[in-house]
């Protein structure tokens, strides 16, 4: 079966431009996560969905960041008026159930590498 896919894989944006990053989770996975990973760092939590409900957005760094998952499958992370500090890899991950327990792990997509000039 297909894993988590993300598009685009690479995005170059001019400062001030809006970008939209797409995540296709594994079919049937209830939980979906977005992370931001700076170079040489571990992933930092941004937001979490259970089906279409955004249950936690405490990691979003500013109100320029917005995420949605309207039908409980595909998710989009939108960044408005991009800044240079937004340059990072944006990882999406999904897991089968909620609440997660036991060895319920996340399956990561390949990420979108965003460079803001």
Partner 1 sequence: GQNIDQPTEMTATEGAIVQINCTYQTSGFNGLFWYQQHAGEAPTFLSYNVLDGLEEKGRFSSFLSRSKGYSYLLLKELQMKDSASYLCAVRRDFNKFYFGSGTKLNVKP
- Catalog residues that contact partner 1 under the rule CB under 8 A: 4, 31, 33, 35, 40-45, 48, 55-56, 91, 95, 98-103, 105-111
Q: Which is nearer to partner 1, 48 or 65 (CB)?
A: 48
Q: DSSP readout, the chain?
A: ----EEE-SEEEE-TT--EEEEEEPPTT--EEEEEEE-TTS--EEEEEEETTEEEE-TT--STTEEEE-TTSS-EEEEESS--GGG-EEEEEEEES-SS--TT---EE---EEEEE-
Smallest gap from residue 5 Cβ to partner 1 (A): 11
Quote the least distance from Cβ 63 to partner 1, whole Å: 20
Least Å distance between CB 73 and partner 1? 18
């Amino acid at each position: 079966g297909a894993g988590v896919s993300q598009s685009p894989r690479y995005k170059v944006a001019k400062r001030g431009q809006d970008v939209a990053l797409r995540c296709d989770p594994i079919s049937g996975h209830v939980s979906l996560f977005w992370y931001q990973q700076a170079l040489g760092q571990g992933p930092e939590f941004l937001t979490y969905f259970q089906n279409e409900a955004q249950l936690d957005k405490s990691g979003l760094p500013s109100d320029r960041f917005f995420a949605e998952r309207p039908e409980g499958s595909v998710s989009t992370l939108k960044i408005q008026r991009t800044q240079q500090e937004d340059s990072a890899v944006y990882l999406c991950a999904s897991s089968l159930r909620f609440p997660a327990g036991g060895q319920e792990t996340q399956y990561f997509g390949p990420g979108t590498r965003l460079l803001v000039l």
